[in-house]
Structure 1
Amino acid sequence: MPARRRVGIAGAVVGATSASVAAAALAKRYAVGRIRLRPDTAASEPFGELRGRATTVRTSDGVELHAEVDGPEDAPLTVVFCHGYTLNLDSWHYQRRHLRDSCRLVFWDQRCHGRSTRTPAEDCTIDRLGADLADVIEALVPGPCVLIGHSMGGMTVMALAESHPELFGDKIRGVALISTSAGRLAEVTLGLPALISKAVHWAATPTVSLLGRRAALVDRGRQAGSDVAFLMLRYLGFGDATAVSPTVVDFAESMIRSTPTDVIADFYPALMSHDKLAALDVLDRVPTEIIVGDKDWLTPPDHSRSINAGLPSARLTEVKGASHLVLLERPAEVNEAIGELLKRVQDTGAAGAAEGIENLEETTGPPGGAAVAEESG
């Protein structure tokens, strides 16, 4: 083939490729632009602006965790929120807004997330997160509490149950597990055929590790590619992509983008090897709510059903049409389930108090018995 012809073909290929890339970029901008022009019910929502009393918790291994305490200090019950992988404490925006007038609330950034201190990769484990939660409770929770965990935050709660079972039933009166798993995440199909899913999982760990080693470069690319991230998160993190607020997607995407790539890489192996099925017996001591979107492909409903099978007294809520970020996508349903949990905790506490009074009467007579006897005498 003559050299001039080869050059011509090469030029045509490069030109076609460039045109394809340009067309894809234009299509992406057009899609994002159309989405943002739609009515947005959350456009005026003050995401990331709700603040409590900021404090720092120093963990047993010297890490400084950022935390906030909100709500009335004299409330009889504290609710502790544990956020998910690549998110931060602001992910609980709707739950904070709903409960801050009635409950004492504790929010904290898990290590390496949000405003908490970075740690070496060897300290990025689920067991270590469970130990951090124990430190948060010791430092910030003076009385009984309820734990609420989303995704990795739910795993944190299970790790605490495994390492500190004595806290459940006394200090910890109830638990909510939202879009989480007790193990076998490496078997999740991601909505793909089995063979393709296995190939994806096989390639994921070395790929994530490689990205972690190139974190600075990848993070610069992530900042530049926010429209792509917006579209991906809109379809993968939320169940009804056509109904979800663009502002909500932007808010979630900004939290994920603010989590450094090497942090994502450091925690990924811990998520894939997570196995806390044995800890479920501990959670069965207290009222437990399990909440999951029925379109969740990251921690599919089957994982929540497996947790429910290990917790006979738990209540499972599957939110129709919602995906992994159900706490932001369908806050009303999540808040309702949390409200049911708090009511169950309150009822359980009242029943326990009544039982205690009954036992006291059996051994000493009714309260005020001596005074009554004196009056009737």
Structure 2
Amino acid sequence: MGLTARIAGTVAGAAGIAAAGTALRVAQRRRVIGRRDGDSTQFGSLHSPAHTVIADDGVPLHVEIDEPETSGSALTVVFVHGYALNLDCWHFQRAAYRGLVRTVFYDQRSHGRSGRGSISEGTIDQLGRDLKSVIDAVVPDGPVVLVGHSMGGMTVVAFAELYPELFGEKVAGVALISTTAGGLDPSRLLFPMVPSRFGAGLTGGTVRTLARGHRAVDGVRRLGRSIATVVTDAYAFGDAVPAGYVEFVDDMLSATPFQVVAEFFPGLREFDKFEHVGVLGTVPTTIICGTADKLTSVGHSRKLHSRIPGSTLVECEGAGHMVVLERHGQVNAALDQLVAAASAAAGAR
């Protein structure tokens, strides 16, 4: 039996499970999520004119820059998003800093509006080089603060290994949010993005097999949006957030082709750079994580904190992996302090 037929069989199997009551439970949970209200945030509404930065291997990266309304600090904050997301995930941070601080947002390669890279370049090290390309192109002057969430935090760590000499010179501060420098089980990150039959115990071989039938997998994902929404709610958040938050994250996940998801899977599994994070101790560094993060658990953040001298650890009680949405007020307050510390450190040099 071919892969496409097997995946189609998964849908049929899901129908059988539904008859046993799973679909009813999903529908009930979906209604619970749908009853959460009280927030009318227009996610994806904050944009500025697009810039294109060409990565070192020729991949075009979609970049947006928010300039401050008045001249002041020359500092720029660069935001780096996570796995299967896009630059819109920084909605609350972008809204908070818009007009006040120069900020840069970009879609990682093969995500969002950026171009697709080759499968061989779907590595965290390449993402670190992409970050360098973005900084060189749109932040040629002045200090920079790097803010990375999830895979974006790993991108910053890879950047630190590749370019340690820039810390304390070009890089004036770092925020690592819901991330790690190694020891990650990436199969947990895939739960909202694959058919439920394959959701547990995923191996590289399984992911590669699914990737060969990626169009069929994407079709199953679309058919199973109600299930995906419930799983996203369970794994991306810790508390009962408004339904719009869950739908926004689910939309970003669903918009990322499974072939791209599979492309980065091996690099996430192999990522091991704790021995290189010490250089972040030369600049103000803040580590943020929700205590209920089911994808990159708070233990990863505590280990980063123990390996980065002088770093600040902010634990958001009860929050999940998408802490940048769920606890945006607490995250923004921590970033405010980081930006102030970085500005002061840069000014003292």
What's the counterpart of residue 349 of structure 1? 346
User: How much does 1:189 deviate?
Assistant: 8.8
Alpha-carbon distance, 1:125 to partner: 0.3
Alignment correspondent of 1:328: 325
Q: Pick one of 89, 99, 104 that aligns with 1:101.
A: 99
Query: Residues 308 and 224 of structure 1: is their aligned pair in 2 closer, same or farther, counting only changes over 3 Å?
Result: same
How far, CA to CA, are the matches of 1:349 and 1:163 in structure 2?
A: 22
Q: CA deviation at 1:343?
A: 1.5
Q: Is contact 2:168–2:282 with CA below 8 Å preserved after alignment? A: yes
Aligned to 2:206: 207
- Residue range with higher mean Cα deviation, 68-77 or 303-312: 68-77
Instruction: Tell me the residue number matched to 2:300.
Output: 303
Deviation at 1:45, TM superposition (A): 0.8
Q: Distance in 2 between matches of 1:346 and 1:107?
A: 19
Structure 1 pair 187/206, CA: closer, same or farther in 2 (3 Å)?
A: closer
Residue of 124, 137, 140 corresponding to 2:138: 140
Structure 2 match to 1:236:
235
Report the Cα distance in structure 1 between the residues aligned to 2:114 and 2:186, rounded to whole angstroms: 31
Aligned equivalent of 1:63, options 34, 40, 59: 59
Aligned to 2:222: 223
Match of 2:273 among 276, 290, 304: 276
Structure 1: gaps (5+ residues): 1-13, 191-199, 354-377
Question: Where do 4+ consecutive residues of structure 1 move more than 6 Å?
Answer: 187-190
Whichever of the two has the greater Rg, that structure is 1
Q: Secondary structure at the residue paired with 1:65?
A: strand
Residue equivalent to 1:72: 68
Specify whether residues 268 and 71 from structure 1 end up closer, same or farther in structure 2 by C-alpha distance, changes over 3 A only: same
Question: Is the Cα contact below 8 Å between 1:188 and 1:299 reproduced in 2?
Answer: no
Deviation, 1:347, is 2.6
Distance in 1 separating the partners of 2:161 and 2:32: 48
1:116-135 matches, within 5 Å, as 116-135=114-133
Alpha-carbon distance change, 143 to 30 in structure 1, aligned in 2, over 3 angstroms: same
CA drift of 1:222 comes to: 1.0
For 2:224 and 2:261, how far apart are their aligned partners in 1?
17
State the match for 2:9 in structure 1. Answer: none
Deviation at 1:281, TM superposition (A): 1.9
Give the TM-score normalised by structure 2: 0.88
1:88 partner letter: N
CA contact (8 A) 1:70 1:106 kept: yes
Query: Which residue among 233, 255, 278 is the counterpart of 1:258?
Result: 255
Q: Which residue of 2 aligns with 1:166?
A: 165
TM-score using structure 1 length: 0.82
Q: What secondary structure is seen at the aligned counterpart in 1 of 2:78? A: strand
Distance (whole Å) between structure 1 residues aligned to residue 260 and residue 16 of structure 2: 34
2:287 aligned with 1:290, yes or no? Answer: yes
Q: Which position in structure 1 is the counterpart of 2:156?
A: 157
Label 1:225 to 1:18 Cα distance change in 2 as closer, same or farther (>3 A). Answer: closer
Q: Distance in 1 between matches of 2:160 and 2:298?
A: 22
Q: Kindly state the Cα deviation for residue 201 of structure 1 after the two structures are TM-superposed.
A: 8.0
Distance in 2 (CA, whole Å) between partners of 1:86 and 1:343 is: 31
Task: Name the CA shift for 1:289/1:267 in 2 (closer, same or farther; >3 Å).
Answer: same
Q: Does 1:52 align with 2:48?
A: yes
Contact 2:279 2:308 (C-alpha < 8 Å) held by counterparts: no
Percent of matched pairs sharing the same residue = 46
Q: Which residue type is aligned with residue 219 of structure 2?
A: R
Per-residue displacement from partner, 1:88-140 (whole Å, max 9, x unpaired)?
A: 00000000001112100100000000011112211000000000000000001
Report the number of matched residues. 325
Listed as ranges, the matches of 1:178-197 within 5 Å are: 178-186=177-185
Contact 1:174 1:341 in 2 (8 A): yes
**Greater relative contact order (Cα 8 A, min sep 6): structure 1 or 2?**
2
In structure 2, stretches of 5+ residues that fail to align are 1-11, 190-198
Tell me the residue number matched to 1:111: 109
Q: How does 1:5-24 map to 2 (within 5 A)?
A: 18=16, 20-21=18-19, 23-24=21-22
Residue 371 of structure 1 is matched in structure 2 by: none
Q: Deviations over 1:281-324 (max 9, x none)?
A: 21111000000001112111111111111112100001000011
Contact 1:290–1:316 (8 Å) recurs in 2: yes
Taking only aligned residues, the RMSD between alpha carbons, in angstroms, comes to 2.2
The residue type equivalent to 2:285 in the other structure is T
